Chain A
Amino acid sequence: MSKLSQPHLLGIKNITREDIELIFETADNFKEVINRPIKKVPSLRDVTIANVFFENSTRTRLSFELAQKRLSADVVNFSASTSSVKKGETLLDTVNNILAMKVDMIVMRHASVGAPHFLARHIKANIINAGDGTHEHPTQALLDAFSIRERFRKLEGVKVAIIGDILHSRVALSNIFALNKLGAEVMVCGPPTLLPRHIASLGVKVELDLKKALEWCDVANVLRIQLERQQIKYFPSLREYSLYYGINRPMLDSLKKDVVLMHPGPINRGVELTSDAADSRQSIILDQVENGVAVRMAVMYLLAGANS
C-alpha cells in the first residue's frame, strides 16, 4: 500500500509504523529531487495549502513553505499576530473563512493542545499539525528519526537520549512516540523539575546525570530551554543549568565514542549546547534542516494524493 492510514497528520501517536516507513521511503525520493539543479516537481499543481501559524516560527514555517513550493502547490500564509484573531475571531471561524476560499490542506501551529484535532473533526481539509502547545510536533519527530536513519542506516536498536526541557517539549513527546514505533531505544535526561512525572510509562529510560546519559547513547537530541513557556522557575539560573546539563567540547571528548548531536533549533548557544559542540563534525543539526524539507514534501504528497 502506498497510502497513509490517516487523512491528517495530527500526531505520531495515531499513525502506524508502516505510515512512518512509507513517509521515509517517499522522503528519500524527494531528497534526491531537492538536490537536483531544478528542485521542483509538479505533483501538487492543483492543491492550495494554507499555513496557519498562531505561534511564532521561523524554521518550521520556512521549511513547510519551501516544501510546498518545491511540490508546486499554491500557498497562502497566515500569522496570528497580523490577523483578525487579534479582534477576537474564534479558531473555527478563522479557519472556515480560509476554507471558503477553497483551500485543500491546512498546516497549523497553535499554542493550545489539541487544536488541530479539533479542526480535523470540524473541517473538510487535510490537517497537518505543525506543533500544538506542549503536545506534539509530528513533522519534527519524523525528520529527526529520518536523520538518525540516514546516519545509522537503521533505527532498530539505536540508542537516543533526549536531553533538556522534556516537560515543555512537544518535540520530545513526538520523538518518543516515533522512536518507540521504529524500534529505537529512548532515554530522557534533564533536571527532575523538567521531567514530567510518569514519563517512564511511555517506555523510556530516565536519567538525571548527563554524563551517564551521554555514555549510554549513540545520539543525543538536545532540546531548547523554553523560557517562554515557563511561568515559574524550574531551575535557579541558566548558568547553573548550563553547568549541569549543557553539552560542551571537554565533556564530548571525555567519552569513548563520538555521540551524534541533534537539536531542533533554535539553539541557545552556551546554554544547552556550546558552539564548539554545535558546529562540530559530530553535529547533524544542518542535515536535520535539509531533511525537514524532504520529509514535509513526503507528508504533503501522501496526504494530498489520497484525497480523491
Chain B
Amino acid sequence: MQKKLILDSQLLSITIDRLCQELVENHGDFEHTVLLGLQPRGIFLAERMKEKLDKTVNRDIPLGYLDATFHRDDFRRREIPARASETKVPFLIENKKVVLIDDVLFTGRTVRAALDAMIAFGRPEKVELLVLIDRRHTRELPISADYVGKYVDTLESQRVLVELDAAQKHHKIWLVNKD
C-alpha cells in the first residue's frame, strides 16, 4: 500500500486558520450563521473550526452534528446497510445561514444526502459547503464546495485517509493507493 502525505499537522493548522478567515470574511460576526458537521468524519474539523471561530468573533456559534445515513441513495444497493451515527441539531436552522462541514468531497453523494437530511430541521436562508480536501474530477453530482482547504487530483482507485491521533493534536492527511 503506497501512501503519499498531502497535509501534515502544521500545514493542516495553517489551512484551517485560512478557512476560518474566509468564513469570517463572509459571515461577519456569525449572528445568523450555524455550523453543521457531517458525521462521522466531518466532526473533528467542525469542532476545531468552532473553537477557533468562537475566539475570533467572541460568540458561542451553534454547532450541530448531522448524519445523512438514512438519506443515502445507495441503501439496498450495497452489501450491508451503512452504520448510522448520532444526529444532534439542538437548534432550528429556519432562516439561518448554514455552513456544512466535511473532511473530503468525493462523489458528492454524501453532501446530497446531507442536504436532504438538513431540511428536516427547517428551511435555511443559505447553505454553503466547506471541505478540507476536494478531490477534483471525481464528482458524480453537480455539487461543489464554497470553501476548500486543498484541491487534490486523485484516481478513483485512490483513497484519502485522514489520520487523527488520540490527543487529536497531530492530524495527518494521506493519499493512499488501494490495491
Contacts and interface: CB of A to CB of B under 8 A. Distances in A.
B80 A305 contact: yes
Interface string B69-83: 111100111111111
Contacts, number: 65
B76 A42 contact: no
A305 B76 contact: yes
Contacts of A42: 70-71, 116
Interface residues of A, number: 26
B93 to A, nearest CB: 11
Contacts of B72: 43
Interface residues of B, number: 26
Contact of A307 (B76, B86, B87, B120): B76
Contacts of A307: 76
Contact of B70 (A37, A41, A47): A41
B120 A29 contact: no
B134 interface: no
A42 B88 CA distance: 19
Interface in A293-308: 301-302, 304-308
B121 A36 contact: yes
B84 interface: yes
A25 B85 CA distance: 9
A38 interface: yes
B85 to A, nearest CB: 7
A202 B111 CA distance: 49
A36 B120 contact: yes
A26 interface: yes
Contact of B84 (A26, A46, A306): A26
B95 to A, nearest CB: 14
Interface of B: 67, 69-72, 75-88, 92, 116-117, 119-122
Top 6 nearest A-B pairs (CB, nearest first) are: A305-B81, A41-B70, A3-B80, A2-B83, A38-B120, A29-B84
8 contacts: A3-B79, A29-B84, A33-B70, A36-B121, A40-B120, A41-B70, A304-B75, A308-B76
Given A1-B80, A43-B75, A308-B77, 17 more contacts: A3-B80, A3-B81, A26-B84, A28-B86, A29-B84, A32-B86, A33-B70, A36-B120, A41-B117, A42-B70, A43-B70, A46-B76, A301-B70, A301-B81, A304-B76, A306-B80, A307-B76
